[in-house]
Each structure stands twice: as C-alpha cells, then as structure tokens.
Amino acid sequence: MSLADDAGSVVPVGTVSSGSGEWARSFRFDGIPERDGTVTIEATVRDEHGGVTKVEKEVTVVGETTKSEMANPVSQQAPEILDLNISLREAPDGISGRQVILTGIANDNDSDRLHFQWKVDDRLLFSTREEGSPARASVSHGLENMEFDDGTVGVQLTVTDQNGHQQSVKESFDVHRGTPTESSKGLTIPIELTEVDGTTVQGRYRIDPMHAGKQVVIGFGDKNVTTHTIKETNYHYFRHRYASGGNYHISVHPAWSPDKASIPVRLSEAEYNVWVYERNTTEVHRTKAFESPGENWTREGIARIDREQIDTKTMRTPADSGRGTLSPGQEWYRVGTTTEYDTERRTTRSTDHPGGEWEIAEQNVDQRRVFDGWEYTTMPQRDAFGDDWEYVEAVPRTVERGETKRSADRPAGSGWERGDRVGRTLAGYHTQWVYSHYRAPEHWEYRRSDRYVSGYDETEYCVERSYRFDPPVCIKSETERDPQYDYRYEYRVPEYDAVYEWERTVEETEYSHRYRRATYEQEAVHEYEKQVRVGTEYVQWKRPVFETTEVYRWQKITYTWEQVRAFSEPTGDVRNVTKIVKECGADPNADEPTACNGET
C-alpha cells in the first residue's frame, strides 16, 4: 500500500495494519503546500497476485503559524544530563589492581528508563540502563585494561530515552594510574565471557570461598536482572540469551561489597534477506468525467448527475383557510398567497331580520315552529317523566330529625341530652369469698371452695415434776396445738352500670329533582337578500427548471513490469529476481523486518 500527492509532502507513519481482510496505514504531511488549499492524494494498493487498484481523494491542508508539541504517544523532549564524573579506587577483596568508575546523572520527565553510554578517548564503550528521577548510573572497569596513558582523558556520555531522543556531553579529566599495592599478584578479571554464540552469552564471575552461600545480582544490560545464591567456591557461572544483537554491558553486584564489576558485550546483529525483483502488475485506473478521458477507457456507469437551473415555472392552487392544499409535486415550493374578489347575490329565510345589509324581499313565505322558552317542574324522585322532559339538577333542602340511643355513657358526637333510666348493663365482675352457701345470692356464680385453718385446740402437759413438795409441783410443762379446719367459698359477682336513654336533634339534607321541557310557537318566515363581495384565496407556487448532465465512471486497466523490494521470496509472475543478505542495523535509514527489533 502506497500514497502519493501532487504536492510531494506525504510520508507514511507506522506500519501497515490489517484485520478481517481490511488494510489501513496512517500518513502525515511533512510540509505544507505553498498555498493552503486542496491537495489531490492518490492511494495505490497491490495484492500478492500483481493486481493494482488506485483511488484519488481531495484533502484540504491548512498551515499553522504556531508549533505544538505532542505529549503522547512519542515525547519530543531530549534527556537532560545533570552530572558526569570519573574516579579511581582500589579493587575490592579478591580482585587485584585498581578500578576506574564512570558516573552519570540524567533526568527525563517523559521517560521512565534511560540508556547511558560512555566513550573514553573515542575507543572504549560502556553502557547500562537505569531508572529513577533523576537516574544515576555507574560502571567500573579494571584500570590496567584501560587503553590510555596517564594524563588528560576525554569522556563522552550519551543518554538516550525510551523514545529514541539523545543528549550528549563531553568533558576532560586528569587520570593517574598510580602504583599497585604489594599484595597485588597481577591482573585478575572479575567477569569472564567464556562463550558468545550469536545472541547467547555464557560467562563466569570469580569469587572467594568465604562468600559461598551469599547472594550476587547480575544485570545483563537489557532490562533483565537476576539474583543468585553462590554455591561454587571458585566461580559463579551464568548464561543469558538476548533478544537481538547490539552493544550491552553485563554488571555484577555482590551482596557482600558495594562495588559493581562490569564488562562490555558486543553481539553481532541478525541478518535478513532482501529480495529485489520485477513483478508483472495490473493497474486499475478509475476516474469520473462527462466524456472519455482518452484511449482504452471504458465507461462503467453513472457516477452522478449534475443539474443547472435554466428557468422557473409558476402556478396557483385554491387555499384552505390560508394553509394551502398539498404541494403540486416534487420541487414545487410555496412563495405566497393571492386573493381574487367577485360580487354575488345571496338569500336567506328567517322569522327575524338577520341584521346588517339584509333587505326583505318577500313576506310570509312559510311558517316555522320557533322556540319560546322552558317549562320547569320539581319531583321528589328522579326519572319520573317521559322523553320530552330534560333533567336539569338536584335541588337540596334541609330537614330536622330526632335521634335516640340507649347507652350507659354519652354517645359520640354533639347535642346529646340524657333522659330517663331505662335499665342496666353488665360492666364487669369481681371475686367474693363467703363462709356459707346460704350467704350467696342466686345471681352469683360459684367458682370453687377453699379449706383453711380456722383455729387451734391447745392441751398442756407436765413433762417434769418436783416431788419435794406435797402435793408435787410441775416445774416444766409443754403445750400441744391441734389445728381446727373450716371451709370458705369463692363466687364471681357481676357488676352493672345504669343505662339511660339519650336524645338529640340532627339536620339532614334531602333532595328533590328539577326537570324542564321546551315550549314553542308558530311564527311567519320572511325571505331576505343582499349583494356581497366574495374573495377567493389562492396559494402561489414556483418550481425551478433544471438541465441535467450525466457524469460517468471510467476505468482503464494497464499491465506493466514494476520493481519490488520484499523480505520474503517472491511467487507468481516475476522476473530478474536478486537476493541480498543484510545485517540488522547496518544501515540506520533502511526499512528492516520486525525480526530485527526482536519481534517474532
């Protein structure tokens, strides 16, 4: 799929995407035409069998006087480098020699991960990736392996954000190697690469036996970081496979030391095939025109019909209360109303003068029964008359009525007055105990009996006597008590309230029903006449008259050999096929397959 325009300012944005058999690609204008206006864009679509279809579309392009920055999806801000520094230090325990430490600090508000690269006198390259705001990155290397002499060293730091924007800074530093300590026994490389196979790297990290069982963190420079527990006593071995070739930096950070050892890794880029060939293509050209655009064009049908107004027709229709009748037809539109006046003679018959300009023409031409008034009557019941009587309304009247009630208490409502006592009513019960059935009246209700202690019989006995006297004297006695029982009886005794007769006078509304019927009399009918001026209203209509011109769709098919560049081996009707093997990333401006970006 390709796009071209007559202004030469259209470039593709992103890759071609497809779904459900439909293809889409985004384009943008990298420049504004000399004058704002309409640009004709031609889209060409080719299929795998050599078929080609072209379509045209007009797009209006307007230039802008101000520049706006896009915050999303791609940032336009480059990172800001805050600091670049270099320092020397003694190597940590177990490693001979000295080390140089390169440190950089950068910030980017539009990126959450930055890529740091260092160059020393344009010869050595170190890289690492760090996060943070700001992000701080450091790499270290054995000083004895650095390819520069004592003196001034040029260091260049380049920071790249995740959107591809870069910022670089270069500074000079004074570096002196110094003399190794007496305990050094020569150069020891803390990280060794034992094998590099394509994008797979194997290596080892030298350790001291005393650190067995501790942890070490290894970063591979491609966002992959692993933590291991040291088991061997001489080396810790690691293996890692990268998604694509390029320059990386492997760093080792032992948990028992703050120092970080690192080593650069350069992996060869993956290769890909480019096929250049000529394909026999079929191009289908389509356009719209009144006549044939030229030779070999075939008319496919009518694209549109252009109309031009050449005249106007008018007509009128009778109006209906000013609203007008239905439209006479398509394209007729209402433009107003008009009224035409005429004089006509009118006649009418009436028992009285109709009023106005009417004049009597002939008297007593007929007799007519004329309404004379209403006859009314009132009945106590409704529906008491025949069909000639018409019900009018209900007529209310107020009457007084006496009302009586018998009750122990005053009835609800107002106006009650108590009269004579007329009886009594049961109000409730209470319990009564008696000691004899004969003491209970007949209307009491017997419930139960109860045995109770009514008293005691006492007898005194002498339990100890003194015979020193004569007669003997009782010095201690005891009394025995025998209970005596009796019965009592429980009755339920009814209680009564007096009942009185209560009286009051109340007012009620009674209704009678009013009816009426019409009365008539015979009157003479006279004939009247007058001359009147009558206006007839019409609706005015207009319709434009057009001249039509048919615009046709035209098609032309051409067959040509077109050179094509593709990443897959061609099939079909092709010739002059050439296969070119390229390395990913060798040409930064080349269009490469997705496999070069680590995509599958």
Candidate from 92-106, 189-203, 324-338, 339-353 with smallest mean pLDDT:
92-106
109 phi, psi to nearest 5 deg: -70, -15
In Å, what is the CA distance from 566 to each residue of 145, 279, 413, 570, 589? 45, 11, 109, 8, 16
Q: Taking residues 374-378, what's their average pLDDT?
A: 88
Q: Taking residues 385-411, what's their average pLDDT?
A: 86
Per-residue pLDDT at 366 exceeds 80: yes
Bridge partners (DSSP) listed for residue 22 = 19
Distance from C-alpha of 320 to C-alpha of 539, rounded to nearest angstrom: 9
pLDDT tens digits for range 421-441: 988 888 899 999 998 888 889
Task: Write down the pLDDT at residue 71.
Answer: 35
Per-residue pLDDT at 169 exceeds 70: yes
Task: Write down the pLDDT at residue 408.
Answer: 85
Task: Write down the pLDDT at residue 500.
Answer: 92
The pLDDT confidence band at residue 259, using thresholds 50, 70 and 90, is low
Task: Write down the pLDDT at residue 32.
Answer: 57
Report the 10 Å Cβ neighbour count for 8: 10
Task: Write down the pLDDT at residue 49.
Answer: 53
Distance from C-alpha of 75 to C-alpha of 164, rounded to nearest angstrom: 9
CB within 8 A of 190, min separation 6: which ones? Answer: 95, 142, 205, 206, 252, 261
Q: Taking residues 13-22, what's their average pLDDT?
A: 48
CB within 8 A of 533, min separation 6: which ones? Answer: 341, 342, 343
Task: Write down the pLDDT at residue 253.
Answer: 84
Report the 10 Å Cβ neighbour count for 260: 19
Per-residue pLDDT at 472 exceeds 80: yes
Per-residue pLDDT at 70 exceeds 50: no
Q: Who wins on pLDDT, 600 or 468?
A: 468
Candidate from 141-150, 167-176, 178-187, 266-275 with smallest mean pLDDT:
178-187
Q: Who wins on pLDDT, 4 or 544?
A: 544
Q: Taking residues 454-463, what's their average pLDDT?
A: 87
Q: Who wins on pLDDT, 19 or 589?
A: 589
Q: What's the chain's average pLDDT?
A: 78
DSSP, res 132 = B
H helix and E strand count, the chain: 0, 28
The pLDDT confidence band at residue 183, using thresholds 50, 70 and 90, is very low
CB within 8 A of 433, min separation 6: which ones? Answer: 450, 488, 489, 490, 491
Candidate from 177-186, 283-292, 386-395 with smallest mean pLDDT:
177-186
The pLDDT confidence band at residue 142, using thresholds 50, 70 and 90, is low
pLDDT tens digits for range 550-560: 889 999 988 88
Task: Write down the pLDDT at residue 97.
Answer: 52
* Cα torsion 61, 62, 66, 70: sign: negative
Q: Taking residues 284-312, what's their average pLDDT?
A: 87
Task: Write down the pLDDT at residue 95.
Answer: 47
Report the 10 Å Cβ neighbour count for 559: 10
Task: Write down the pLDDT at residue 67.
Answer: 36
The pLDDT confidence band at residue 211, using thresholds 50, 70 and 90, is confident
By CB atoms closer than 10 A (0-12, 13-18, 19+), residue 207 is: buried
Task: Write down the pLDDT at residue 76.
Answer: 60
Task: Write down the pLDDT at residue 429.
Answer: 92
Per-residue pLDDT at 491 exceeds 90: yes
| DSSP structure string for 532-592 | EEEEEEEEEEEEEEEEEEEEEEEEEEEEEEEEEEESS---SSEEEEEEEEEETTSSTTS--
Per-residue pLDDT at 448 exceeds 60: yes
Bridge partners (DSSP) listed for residue 243 = none
CB within 8 A of 187, min separation 6: which ones? Answer: 96, 97, 142, 144, 145
Q: Who wins on pLDDT, 94 or 573?
A: 573
Task: Write down the pLDDT at residue 431.
Answer: 92
Per-residue pLDDT at 216 exceeds 50: yes
Per-residue pLDDT at 322 exceeds 70: no
Cβ atoms of 117 and 126 closer than 8 Å: yes
pLDDT tens digits for range 227-251: 888 876 677 888 888 877 777 888 8
Q: Taking residues 176-181, what's their average pLDDT?
A: 46
Per-residue pLDDT at 319 exceeds 90: no
Task: Write down the pLDDT at residue 234.
Answer: 74
What is the 3-state composition of the chain as percent helix, strand, coil, each rounded to the nearest 5? 0, 65, 30
Task: Write down the pLDDT at residue 146.
Answer: 57
pLDDT tens digits for range 73-91: 344 678 889 888 887 765 5
Task: Write down the pLDDT at residue 112.
Answer: 74
Distance from C-alpha of 358 to C-alpha of 348, rounded to nearest angstrom: 9
DSSP, res 406 = E
Q: Taking residues 484-510, what's their average pLDDT?
A: 90
Task: Write down the pLDDT at residue 489.
Answer: 92
Per-residue pLDDT at 600 exceeds 60: no
Q: Who wins on pLDDT, 2 or 159?
A: 159
pLDDT tens digits for range 437-446: 888 898 899 9
